[in-house]
């Protein structure tokens, strides 16, 4: 009699356990929260129109200036909730030292005295272009060198949210995987990067009277080549509407530091 009761209790326990496991399995996705969706990819021929004319100032330690840019709407629809995010993310010293990440108090600050700054643009209509600027302040202890400023542009069209980011947001591995076909042909695949497109970035050059003129010349030539490469990148090659460029070389992607980045990104 006791054995029969034990068997019934055992079967009841297993049934209850199975029911609990099944219930948890069904509600687990809700407990974990909604999965982040990859933003839709925009035609690469339009990437450069969302953010252009990006220019960083040349300043001395203890000085201040302005970083300028232009935001546009190249689509045939209104852009809502348009915003930009800027961040001082990498430092290449002029004294030949190793590249490093900037730290607050020893690097140029943006807007309200931080390394990152948000700019809200709001609504933009098709064909509209808006010029913008962000104050840049260089603390006195700042070392001379080139400080990379990366950009992210976000907006909505209807119920879809879009995000474009500059080179500095991607690790070297992610960038390499998205900028070359298996046969070695260069490309820029935005869908593989997980963004709607790629935008340019700039830098703030911190100099002092003691900095050798030859270093100024080298930095100026480097930034000039980046600008030319960025222009050629947006103009050349077959136009694809799938987020993949067929002929634009990843070496000339719009980045503050050209091919030798000093930071792996986020």
User: Model confidence over 118-177: pLDDT tens digits?
Assistant: 999 999 999 999 999 999 999 999 999 999 999 999 999 999 999 999 999 999 999 999
Q: What pLDDT, on a 0 to 100 scale, did the predictor assign at position 147?
A: 97
Q: What pLDDT, on a 0 to 100 scale, did the predictor assign at position 156?
A: 98
- Quote the strand ranges of the chain, DSSP E: 51-55, 58-59, 64-72, 79-93, 109-110, 116-124, 129-137, 145-157, 160-165, 197-198, 202-206
Measured from the Cβ of residue 154, the count of other Cβ atoms closer than 10 Å reads 19
* Close Cβ partners of 157 (under 8 Å, ≥ 6 residues apart): 75, 77, 78, 79, 80
User: Model confidence over 73-83: pLDDT tens digits?
Assistant: 999 999 999 99
Ranges of the chain whose pLDDT falls below 70: 1-36, 210-266
Helix (H, G, I), strand (E, B) or coil at 232: helix
Q: What pLDDT, on a 0 to 100 scale, did the predictor assign at position 259?
A: 46
């Amino acid at each position: 009699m006791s054995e029969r009761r034990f068997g019934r209790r055992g079967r009841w326990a297993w049934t209850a356990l199975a029911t609990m496991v099944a219930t948890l399995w069904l509600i687990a996705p809700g407990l974990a929260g909604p999965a982040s969706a990859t933003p839709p990819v925009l035609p690469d021929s339009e990437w450069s129109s969302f953010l252009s004319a990006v220019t960083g100032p040349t300043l001395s330690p203890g000085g201040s200036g302005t970083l300028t840019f232009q935001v546009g709407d190249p689509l045939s629809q209104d852009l809502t909730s348009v915003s930009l995010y800027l961040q001082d993310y990498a430092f290449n010293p002029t004294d030949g030292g190793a590249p490093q990440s900037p730290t607050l108090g020893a690097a140029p600050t943006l807007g309200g005295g931080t390394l990152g700054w948000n700019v809200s643009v709001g609504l933009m209509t098709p064909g509209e272009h808006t010029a913008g600027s962000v104050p840049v302040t260089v603390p006195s202890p700042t070392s001379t060198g080139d400080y990379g400023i990366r950009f992210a542009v976000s907006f909505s069209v209807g119920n879809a949210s879009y995000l474009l980011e500059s080179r500095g947001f991607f690790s070297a591995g992610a960038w390499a995987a998205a900028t070359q076909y298996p046969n070695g042909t260069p490309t820029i695949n935005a869908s593989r990067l997980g963004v709607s497109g790629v935008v340019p970035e700039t830098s703030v050059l911190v100099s002092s009277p003691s900095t050798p003129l030859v270093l100024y010349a080298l930095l100026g030539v480097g930034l000039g080549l980046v600008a030319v490469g960025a222009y050629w990148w947006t103009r050349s090659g077959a136009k694809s509407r799938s987020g993949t460029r067929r002929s634009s070389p990843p070496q000339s992607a719009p980045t503050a530091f050209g091919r030798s980045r000093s930071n792996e990104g986020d």
